[in-house]
């Protein structure tokens, strides 16, 4: 579902250390070797349910990284919103739902947002939701 929707938008992979994927099998192999084998990583599909025809549409992916049940902490990362859904309610609502789940349902004490320091759109989205910059690691 996500692979098919994303293959026309290779630019969404600019700020992440994977992709774009040339085939569905390549994408599924990445999921198997990066997501499924790591208990500290969880990946969610983001669905937009606001279509007037009632049809759900894949809008992106969002993940939790470096999750530590012992420390009650996690990081939001792999925020990939497909271009037709960028600058809409989709990312804000997906992150908001994920924050609620992590903090209220799972009892996490700390939820961070992980983003590349040059990814201005991600920083702006995070700040819009109340995240603040704590550390910027520069390799320049």
Domain boundaries, the chain: 2-126
Q: Which of 92, 87, 103 is nearest to 130 (CA)?
A: 92
Query: What is the signed CA dihedral for 137, 135, 97, 86, rounded to 10 degrees?
Result: -50
Q: Which of 124, 105, 123, 106 is nearest to 114 (CA)?
A: 123
Confidence of residue 136 (pLDDT cuts 50, 70, 90): low
pTM, full prediction: 0.87
Per-residue pLDDT of 7-50, as tens digits, reads: 999 999 999 889 999 999 999 999 999 999 999 999 999 999 98
2-126 maps to which CATH number?
3.40.630.30
Return the residue matching tokens 């902490």: 73
């Amino acid at each position: 579902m996500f692979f098919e929707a994303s293959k026309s938008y290779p630019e969404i992979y600019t700020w992440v250390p994977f992709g774009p994927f040339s085939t569905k099998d390549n994408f599924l192999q990445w999921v198997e070797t990066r997501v499924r084998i790591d208990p500290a990583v969880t990946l969610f599909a983001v669905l937009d349910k606001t279509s007037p025809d009632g049809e759900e549409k894949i809008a992106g992916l969002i993940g939790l990284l470096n999750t530590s049940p012992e420390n009650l902490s996690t990081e939001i990362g792999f925020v990939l919103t497909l271009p037709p859904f960028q600058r809409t309610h989709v990312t804000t609502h997906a992150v908001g739902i994920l924050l609620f789940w992590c903090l209220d349902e799972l009892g996490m004490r700390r939820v961070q947002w992980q983003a590349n320091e040059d990814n201005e759109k991600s920083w702006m989205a995070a700040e819009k939701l109340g995240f603040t910059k704590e550390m910027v690691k520069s390799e320049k």
